[in-house]
Structure 1
Amino acid sequence: MLRTTQWSLTSPNSARSRCSLKPVWCLRFGTVPQAERLEAFQPTGDPYTDELLSLGIEAGLHRIGCTDASPLIEARTAIEQRIDGGLQDEMQFTFRNPNRSTTPNDALDGARSIIVAGLSYATPDVEPPFAVSGRVAKYSWVEYYEPLRRALTVVRDRLRSDGHRALVFADDNSIVDRAVAHRAGIGWYGKNANILVPGAGSFFVLGSVVTTAKLATSSIVDDGCGVCRRCLDGCPTQAIIEPGVVDARRCLAWLLQKPGVFDRRFRVALGDRMYGCDDCQEVCPPTTRRQLRVTPPEGARPWVDVEALLEMTDEELLDSVDWWYVAQRNPDWVRRNALIVLGNVGELGSPRVREIVATYLEHPDPMLRAHAVWAAARLGLHELIPIHDTAPLVIEELRDLPEVRTTRAN
């Protein structure tokens, strides 16, 4: 007999933070349904489908569902609208070819069904351990997509052994993972554009098994955001311009990956972030108050030593962040970000910080010199700034130096 696996979840400080009016939080957070536990999946009533879903849970997945493989028309329309409005900036991924990423049959000829799953990365916070610590978004503490792929492969192999064709897709631009996750009942679209899993929130990596098997479909989850708008108000750069719509040109997670000069308007707002940004999830009540908490895997790196990183060779640096997306695998984009973080949170008056900044002010790459100029100004090291540097990028920085930092930037 098949059994739906469940995890009981508890809110931190629940007696103090819960409203007495169940099953919603008090109105200061908006009327938000309060799911008491995470259900691994909704039984579909079809024995074979439910057996496959149960197999995925046994393989280590936390939430799983199923949808058909028809085109993702709503997702395609949304992508095209964002492209027309320039909201995707230079981001490629599923924006590169909207027709392909929203047509599952392009991923697997003859596709009829998609099993979609989520793996939680809702790990507890860790205190910064270094003199200058750079924050890493939770989804990149380790390579979470590898265990996700392994678990999905168990389901794929079962389908193949039963005579069906099946392929695994995770962190892949062949399919819009949030769109199929929503349709497969994994969760609802939050106003922060993430998929919010009932009873657990949004700290999940998503992946799929596209197959030629005809399977039963899961029910779509009702929207649970209510009138809450904490993510819109909590974004440090106001990148969420309307519910569910993110302007990549303002999103710190994208700006950290984007090649070129980091937009000056958002450097102070970057604070100590080295890779990714969790702010719109960390303020979300369904995520912070009802999450499936997992233990950080071995090798998890929630922080990086910014000073040490800026002293590494190219090979050492890339090895230290090997699961991050780094454009063209060019370590200088990581160094660029690190210089901004150093300017924001580096210890004022530190000899080591001063030495690092001085080194980068003489770097052969004008892009790095330009960001070192900004960091030097933030740290009050104006005497180090090369005012006669003739590189256009450096001249631009010299024309618009930031104010000296007196406290640590958040």
Structure 2
Amino acid sequence: MYAELKQQIIKKSQEIGIDKIGFTTAAPFKHLEASLTEQKEQGHTTGFEHPNIQERIYPDKIFDQPRSIISIALAYPTKLASQPKRIKGEKRGSFARVSWGTDYHDILRERLDTLKNFITDISQQEVDFKPMVDTGELIDVAVAQRAGVGFIGKNGLLITEEFGSYVYLGEMITNIPFEPDQPIENKCGSCTRCIDLCPTQALLGDGRMNGKKCLSYQTQTKELMPKEYRKKIRTIIYGCDICQEVCPFNKGKDFHFHPEMEPDPEIVKPLLKPLLTISNKEFKQTYGHLSGSWRGKKPIQRNAILALGNSRDKSAIPNLLKCLAEDVRPVIRGSAAWAIGEIVNGNNEELILFFKKQLAQEKEEEVRLEIQAVLQNWQKEREKNDEIE
């Protein structure tokens, strides 16, 4: 009975646009407990994770009498069908691939709901489900690995044979006792490209990471970004793709199965300067459908300012000066000060006077420190130039 139901579910999953599906038991993920505890104790967690470790490990703590977990994966595009229009003198930022198209949480929830309704309709018993996408209690990659969907790479991501790591994951616990699929062991071998090329050395080498050092996390915070990460984000304004881009399993992977995942080049590679003054309404209308908008516009604006500094866009100086002088948010003022310091050298007397004026009237200590740092760097540059002359 359950074997036949499982085959019907697999067939239906293909019909409704699920690219991979796997089944596993609802047994605890006990092997993760020590690791999760250690990560939390060492401060490697970001705060975005579900806070209760026991609920992340034991399905029976979040579901009454669980018997199985169904894992699904949807492949997403990695290349734009066309590039955004080039505008002379204008710099663009970019959203990581995971944030292209409609928010994947919504897409996966829709697929899971459709599958859940199908199973309910054809089952000959009372069935129950708990669907989860990313923000749920269970660890998506651990469920997917045990369900045979793929293996967990050294970068901590699930890697599938067909689609590499460019997949969105979701799962649902159920009270139906399905025959479990065979887990897939790690196939990274001696390759360490993701570890070696991670800009912040966030990857620990065993599939775990120091989440707070990950650039993807850093682009999602709302505070001033620590200085050691600012240049490393380059012109990325959300996420990070580096550990996927360098992975051999991802070579040549680019799938366009789902129209709702197709990105608008003008949106996922936006002009940077207009982001500095975008209104809340316009931000929601333009970027609200992206998963990368979930933290609101402030992190995106802060990252756009850093990107302008990293690209040394002199045309952005008036925009950045306005941010420094007029924006009510300390994070934006402080980021603008840093960006200006990256673009302009210490020979501009007018800018030096402007910075000194801003310093005199600035009340927030974190912004004062940013302004002071720029003035000090400019002073060192002037002294060095004087020595050369």
Report if TM-score (shorter chain) is over 0.5: yes
Output the CA distance in 2 between the equivalents of 1:167 and 1:249.
29
Match of 2:151 among 182, 188, 191: 188
State whether structure 2 residue 104 is matched by structure 1 residue 144. yes
State whether structure 2 residue 10 is matched by structure 1 residue 53. yes
The answer to whether the 8 A contact 2:78-2:97 is kept is yes
Output the CA distance in 1 between the equivalents of 2:334 and 2:197.
30
Describe the SS at the equivalent of 1:400: helix
1:276 equivalent in structure 2: 239
Output the CA distance in 1 between the equivalents of 2:62 and 2:120.
16
> Which digits, 9 at most, give the CA deviation of each residue in 1:33-80, with x for residues without a partner?
xxxxxxxxxxxx933212212211221011110001111212333221
Q: Give the AA of the match of 2:27.
A: S
In structure 2, list runs of 5 or more residues that go unmatched.
Answer: 379-389
Describe the SS at the equivalent of 1:66: strand
State whether structure 2 residue 76 is matched by structure 1 residue 103. no
Residues 1:295 and 1:214: Cα distance change in structure 2 (over 3 Å): closer
Match of 2:21 among 51, 54, 64: 64
The answer to whether the 8 A contact 2:256-2:262 is kept is no
Q: Give the AA of the match of 2:281.
A: E
Percent identity over the alignment is 26
Describe the SS at the equivalent of 1:242: coil
Describe the SS at the equivalent of 2:191: coil
Match of 2:336 among 358, 363, 372: 372
Match of 2:287 among 321, 332, 335: 321
Q: Give the AA of the match of 2:332.
A: L
What pairs up with 1:398-409 in 2 under 5 angstroms? 398-401=371-374
Aligned-residue offset at 1:381: 6.7
Match of 2:72 among 95, 117, 121: 117
2:117 equivalent in structure 1: 157
The answer to whether the 8 A contact 1:66-1:113 is kept is yes
What pairs up with 1:231-380 in 2 under 5 angstroms? 231-290=194-253, 292=255, 294=257, 297-298=261-262, 300=264, 301-322=267-288, 323-324=290-291, 329-345=295-311, 347-348=313-314, 350=315, 353-362=316-325, 363-380=327-344
Describe the SS at the equivalent of 1:245: coil
Residues 1:194 and 1:111: Cα distance change in structure 2 (over 3 Å): same
Aligned-residue offset at 1:346: 5.1
Q: Give the AA of the match of 2:11.
A: S
The answer to whether the 8 A contact 1:136-1:273 is kept is yes
Deviates more, 1:160-169 or 1:230-239: 160-169
Aligned-residue offset at 1:291: 5.4
The answer to whether the 8 A contact 1:156-1:167 is kept is no
Output the CA distance in 2 between the equivalents of 1:229 and 1:299.
30
State whether structure 2 residue 167 is matched by structure 1 residue 204. yes
Output the CA distance in 2 between the equivalents of 1:215 and 1:279.
37
Q: Which has the higher Rg, Structure 1 or Structure 2?
A: 2
**Which contiguous aligned blocks of 4+ residues in structure 1 show a shift greater than 4 angstroms?**
290-296
Output the CA distance in 1 between the equivalents of 2:359 and 2:109.
52
2:369 equivalent in structure 1: 396
Describe the SS at the equivalent of 2:155: coil
Residues 1:172 and 1:366: Cα distance change in structure 2 (over 3 Å): closer
1:31 equivalent in structure 2: none
The answer to whether the 8 A contact 1:122-1:204 is kept is no
Q: Give the AA of the match of 1:253.
A: S
1:73 equivalent in structure 2: 30
Aligned-residue offset at 1:233: 1.2
> Which digits, 9 at most, give the CA deviation of each residue in 1:103-149, with x for residues without a partner?
22233212111110100113314545462211111111121232222
Output the CA distance in 1 between the equivalents of 2:227 and 2:95.
21
Describe the SS at the equivalent of 2:154: coil
Deviates more, 1:73-82 or 1:357-366: 73-82
1:132 equivalent in structure 2: 91
Aligned-residue offset at 1:399: 3.9
In structure 1, list runs of 5 or more residues that go unmatched.
Answer: 1-44, 405-410
The answer to whether the 8 A contact 1:115-1:208 is kept is yes
2:181 equivalent in structure 1: 218
* RMSD, aligned α-carbons: 2.3
The answer to whether the 8 A contact 1:203-1:287 is kept is yes
Match of 2:138 among 163, 170, 175: 175
Deviates more, 1:268-277 or 1:144-153: 144-153
Deviates more, 1:329-338 or 1:191-200: 329-338
Aligned-residue offset at 1:304: 2.1
How does the TM-score come out when normalised to structure 1? 0.80
